[in-house]
Structure 1
Amino acid sequence: MLRVIAGLWRWRRNPLRRTTDLLEAWVALAAILVIVLGGGFAGLAAGSAAHEALQRSVRIQAQQRHQVWATPDRAAARPSAATDPEAAAGRETHRRVDAHWTAPDGSEHSGPVAAPGAVRAGERFRIWTDAQGRVVTRPLDASTARAHAVLAGLGAAALVGAVTVGGRQLVTRRMLNTRHRRWEREWERVGQDWGRAGAGS
Structure 2
Amino acid sequence: MRAIRGIWRWRHNPLRRTTDLVEAWVALSALFLVLLAAPLVGAVVGAVAQSALQQAVRDQRDSRHEVTAVVVRRLGGSPFEADPDTGTGRDTRTRVFADWKAPDGTPAHGAVMSGLQTPHRGDRFSIWTDVHGRLVARPLDSATATTHAVLAGIGAAFAAAAFVEGGRRMILWRMVRRRYARWDQAWERVGPDWGRTGTGS
Whether TM-score is above 0.5 comes out as: yes
CA distance in 2, matches of 1:185, 1:128: 75
| Equivalent pair of 2:66/2:128 in contact (CA under 8 Å) | yes
3-state SS of 1:147 partner: helix
Match of 1:138 in 2: 138
Deviation larger for 116-125 or 11-20: 116-125
1:127-164 CA distances to partner (integer Å, 9 max, x unpaired)?
11112111111111111111111112112212211211
| Equivalent pair of 1:193/1:200 in contact (CA under 8 Å) | no
What's the offset of the Cα at 1:198? 4.1
What's the offset of the Cα at 1:43? 1.3
3-state SS of 2:74 partner: coil
Match of 1:31 in 2: 30
Q: TM-score, normalised by structure 2?
A: 0.86
Match of 2:96 in 1: 97
1:10-30 CA distances to partner (integer Å, 9 max, x unpaired)?
212222211101101101111
CA distance in 2, matches of 1:25, 1:121: 76
Percent identity between matched residues is 51
Match of 2:181 in 1: 181
Gaps of 5+ in 1: none
3-state SS of 2:200 partner: coil
CA distance in 2, matches of 1:105, 1:112: 20
CA distance in 1, matches of 2:165, 2:114: 50
| Equivalent pair of 1:76/1:120 in contact (CA under 8 Å) | no
Whether 1:193 and 2:193 are equivalent positions in the alignment is yes
Gaps of 5+ in 2: 83-88
What's the offset of the Cα at 1:120? 2.4
What's the offset of the Cα at 1:178? 0.4
What's the offset of the Cα at 1:179? 0.4
CA distance in 2, matches of 1:179, 1:63: 64
Q: How does 1:8-157 map to 2 (within 5 A)?
A: 8-76=7-75, 79=78, 92-118=91-117, 119-157=119-157
Q: What is the alpha-carbon root mean square deviation over aligned residues?
A: 2.3
Q: Which amino acid letter does the alignment assign opposite residue 110 of structure 2? A: G
What's the offset of the Cα at 1:168? 1.0
Q: Which amino acid letter does the alignment assign opposite residue 120 of structure 1? A: H
What's the offset of the Cα at 1:92? 4.7
After the TM superposition, which segments of 4 or more aligned residues of structure 1 sit over 4 Å from their partners? 90-93
Q: TM-score, normalised by structure 1?
A: 0.86
| Equivalent pair of 1:78/1:117 in contact (CA under 8 Å) | no
CA distance in 1, matches of 2:155, 2:175: 30
3-state SS of 2:78 partner: coil
What's the offset of the Cα at 1:101? 0.9
Whether 1:162 and 2:162 are equivalent positions in the alignment is yes
